[in-house]
A = this chain, B = another copy of it.
Amino acid sequence: MAETSRPCGVYAAIMKPLTRDFQVDLPLLVAHGRWLLANGCDGLAPLGTTGEANSLSVDQRLRVIDALASAGLPMGRMIIGTGSCALADAVELTRAALAAGCPNVLVLPPFYYKSPSDAGLHAFFAALIDGVNDTRLRVYLYHFPQVSAVPITPALIEMLRASHGPETIAGLKDSSGDWNNTKMLLERFSGFAVFSGTEHYLSQNLAAGGPGCISATTNVTAPIARLVMTAAGPAQAQIQEGLSELRLLIQGFPLIPALKHIKAELSGEPAWRRLLPPLMPLDAAQAEALMAKLRAAREFPRLSETMRLAA
């Protein structure tokens, strides 16, 4: 994929390894990013929900952007989370992403006040885009109502595309888990890149003309998701089935703790188990149940082999 083209394919909402004192372990993060890009990901989506971005200060987030860019990772193949309840923070983070070479940002609506009006949300995004004031900017709206509790409605998308143009309002990550919503948005807004928030819908998203997926679980399943991208017909359907088995199995547990546990187990790096509060590591029973189910999954041998090579 060319570094300057529009993001598409398999993206991982890259999770953040932590040090003992709750700082991001930047070298381990960069190593994980390199592994993902070498093992199935077309790109990375740092500083999202899985990346525990809202549990990090703006300074901590800026250091993540800087570390990824300084390590020479391909910033054109990233979609960086820059949303915040505070407009001033969202502007600062978005400017930093652009300055680091990444025009694509994934932006949560401000999520503290509940039931904001679409006019109020439009005012926020408009002030963000006008405040950043850079024609390179490509905004991906982040729809994750179960967590943010503030949905991105079709009416809001329409208002934003009308006021700021379909080039700037480039797409959306649909983490609702509702395929019908993704499909409706793809059909309704021409040229609007609606990513599925899960690789469970990867082949469906591609078939419907969507750009692909940005997913938490691809932190682990990227090598299998890659095979869906390169296969076709019945072979693709079969690999999608094995991929979906992995996704559905993992999401039966607290998602981010489960992903970090799997990474720690398969890569042999226990630091991966740390989480920022209020998230907590799996307890022993959960951890055991997760690994037992994972080992029984059809695609586990392929996955395990790839991840061991990374350790």
Contact = CB atoms under 8 A, between A and B. Distances in A.
Interface residues of A, number: 38
Contacts of A121: 277-278
A263 to B, nearest CB: 19
Contact of A114 (B116, B147, B276): B147
Interface in A241-279: 276-279
Nearest to A283: B119
Contacts of A58: 57-58
A149 interface: yes
A206 to B, nearest CB: 30
Please tell me how many copies of the chain the complex holds.
2
A73 interface: no
Q: Taking each of A54, A86, A92, A276, which has the highest tally of chain B beta carbons within 10 Å of its own beta carbon?
A: A86
A113 B146 CA distance: 9
B55 A86 contact: yes
A148 B85 CA distance: 12
Given A110-B277, A112-B111, A117-B280, A54 B86 contact: yes
A66 interface: no
A86 B278 CA distance: 10
A54 B112 contact: yes
A146 B115 CA distance: 10
Interface of A: 22, 49, 54-60, 85-89, 92, 109-114, 116-117, 119-121, 123-124, 127, 146-149, 276-280
12 contacts: A57-B86, A57-B89, A57-B92, A60-B88, A87-B276, A87-B277, A110-B278, A111-B111, A111-B112, A117-B280, A123-B278, A124-B277
